Structure formats: C-alpha cells, structure tokens
Amino acid sequence: MNDFAGADSERPIAIQADGFLVHAFGVGTFSIDIPDGYWLLDINLGATDSSLTANGDSVPKRQAGHAFSLLPPGIVRTYSSVRAGHSILFLFRLDALRVAPARLALDGMTEPIWNGIDFALNGAGVIVYDFIVTKRHCSTPTETSFIKDLIAIRLMQIVTEEKKIETNAPRCIQAALEFIDANLDKSITITEIAHHARLSPYHFSRRFRERTGMSIRRYLILQRIEKAQRLITASDLSLAEIAYSTGFSSQSHMTSLFRRFVGRTPGSYRLMHVASP
C-alpha cells in the first residue's frame, strides 16, 4: 500500500490494524493505491464539495458536501482527491469487521454508491474524526474495535434497509439543504425551508426524516454547531459573535446546545484546539 501523499502526507495514519485503515483528512490532496480485496468508504464531513479521481480518469468526480462514497473491492485501483474540507477515509476487508450481519450485508453488494446522503453515517464520521483529532492516535484494540463497529453497523443498516441513496439527493431535499447552508446565520423556520423544497411543512418534515434519519430541527442544530466549531478553531471572533453568525438566539443558547452535542463548552473547545500541537 502506498503512503498518503500531498498536503496531508505529514500527518500519520491514525489507525492501522490488520485489514483495516482509517485516516482523518483536512484540506489538501492525497493519492492511494487500493489493495486487492479492500473496500473503500469516503465520508465528506463538510458542506463543501471536493473532487476525486478514480483509476486516473481524466474527468474527476464531484464529492458532494455531506456525502459518502462506498466502493466494493475491484472497483477502484487508485484513488486521488482534492479535499475542500474535513473528511474520513476507511479502507477495510470484510473479515476485519466484527459485526457478522454487516459482513453478510456488504458481501452481496457489487455496485458502488457515489455521493450517497446519509446523515447518520455522516454523524458517525464526525465522531470518528473528533476522536482521532483529539487523541492524535488510536492504537489499542478497544479503540480500534469502537471505530470499526460504529461504521460497520451503520453501513449494515444502509444496505439491509435498502437505503442505497441515488447519486444525488431528491431535488426538493437538495434545494432545502442549499437554502439552509446559505442562511445558517438567520433564524429560519421549517415553513421557510419547506417553501424552498416546494412541499408543505408536513410532507417536507416527513420526507426529510425518511431521507436523512433525523428531524429538520436536529439537522439545523448540528449544522449550526458544525459551523460554530469551524469558527471557534479558525477565527478570532468572540463567542458572542460566533453565536450570532451561526443563527443561535444568544451565546448562552449556543453554549447549552454545544455542550449537549460536543461534550464541552465552546470556550473549553477553543482552548483544547489552541493547546493541541
């Protein structure tokens, strides 16, 4: 297997066990050869599109924001990407997964999923990314098993529940996601979002939950928190300014939800990242 190359080449591979490899990527490029018999799962964690090239194709594919690609063995020999945001890349053999139903479900899959939308899988990727970045390594059997099982269980659910999402999300949902991304700094309502999806609030809420596995309200909170995390670590804005620019009603509102979903306050989150090497 080739080493990762490009802007992230100085960062070590976060987890490497028998039949399993995972790496957390920031902005930059990389290229890797895929060993025989290995699956590839690429999860784009941010809202910004990235580009990737499989087998040296002259026309790159688009890796949509919040999307994942799942490629069975033999589909891709070389995989290159230009990252516009954070992402997680997994390479694994089926026999490296401890969850037997997941192995069975994936074993019957031969066609790749490009740009699938599944926010539960995306959420699992965020957990893995934060776990790796915070610890800077992950080497014990318990930690490795946690990562493998977390991803394997969600992949099993996607396949067995026939949630192989089409190449692009339905137009109405995609329109809603674009509207949300462009208006996170405002106090937008479900009615406004449903209007941009050309659906009634009731039908939109139902279709959104069916499509993403979460309510629109929860999705809004997670998007606001994700944007707040980026601003906390990459800007000098005060926490009050960040709360305002991410659509929270107040700094205390942001702090309450941030602590619930991230496990620490915005202030301690900033200190943690400032102190990280």
- CATH assignment of the domain containing 120: 2.60.120.280
Q: What pLDDT is attached to residue 241?
A: 94
Query: Domain check: are 100 and 137 in the same one?
Result: yes
Mean pLDDT over residues 85-112, rounded? 84
Q: Which of 87-91, 125-129, 191-195 has the lowest mean pLDDT?
A: 125-129
Mean pLDDT over residues 141-167, rounded? 63
Q: What pLDDT is attached to residue 121?
A: 83
Query: Domain check: are 150 and 182 in the same one?
Result: no
Query: Domain check: are 93 and 114 in the same one?
Result: yes
Query: Domain check: are 119 and 241 in the same one?
Result: no
Q: Which of 19-23, 168-172, 236-240 has the highest mean pLDDT?
A: 236-240
Mean pLDDT over residues 157-167, rounded? 51
Q: What is the mean pLDDT of the chain?
A: 78
The answer to the question of residue 5 being in a domain is no
Confidence grade of residue 5 (pLDDT, cut at 50, 70, 90) = very low
Query: Domain check: are 189 and 134 in the same one?
Result: no
Distance CA 85, CA 49 (A): 8
Detail the DSSP E strand segments found in 141-203: none
Domain count, the chain: 2
The answer to the question of residue 7 being in a domain is no
Q: What pLDDT is attached to residue 7?
A: 34
Query: Domain check: are 130 and 54 in the same one?
Result: yes
Q: What pLDDT is attached to residue 254?
A: 93
Query: Domain check: are 186 and 152 in the same one?
Result: no
Domain boundary residue among 160, 192, 209? 160
The answer to the question of residue 10 being in a domain is no
User: What single letter denotes the amino acid at residue 151?
Assistant: I
Query: Domain check: are 156 and 183 in the same one?
Result: no
The answer to the question of residue 2 being in a domain is no
The answer to the question of residue 4 being in a domain is no
Query: Domain check: are 31 and 99 in the same one?
Result: yes
Mean pLDDT over residues 191-196, rounded? 86
Domain boundary residue among 99, 128, 160? 160
Place of tokens 């688009």: 62
Map residue 259 onto helix, strand or coil. Answer: helix
Give Cβ neighbours of residue 93 (< 8 Å, ≥ 6 apart).
19, 20, 37, 38, 39
Query: Domain check: are 52 and 124 in the same one?
Result: yes
- CATH assignment of the domain containing 260: 1.10.10.60
The answer to the question of residue 258 being in a domain is yes
Quick one: angle between helices 141-160 and 100-107, nearest 10? 50
Confidence grade of residue 277 (pLDDT, cut at 50, 70, 90) = very low
Q: What pLDDT is attached to residue 58?
A: 53
Domain boundary residue among 160, 185, 205? 160
Q: What pLDDT is attached to residue 140?
A: 58
User: What single letter denotes the amino acid at residue 14?
Assistant: A
pLDDT in tens, 234-245: 888 999 999 999
Q: What pLDDT is attached to residue 252?
A: 93
270, pLDDT greater than 80 = yes
Range of the domain at 121: 15-160
The answer to the question of residue 265 being in a domain is yes
Query: Domain check: are 84 and 221 in the same one?
Result: no
pLDDT in tens, 22-71: 888 777 787 888 888 999 999 988 777 777 777 766 556 777 788 888 88
DSSP-derived pairing of the beta strands 113-117 and 50-54? unpaired
User: What single letter denotes the amino acid at residue 252?
Assistant: S
Query: Domain check: are 61 and 153 in the same one?
Result: yes
Burial class of residue 149 in the structure, from the number of CB atoms within 10 Å of its CB (0-12 exposed, 13-18 middle, 19+ buried):
middle
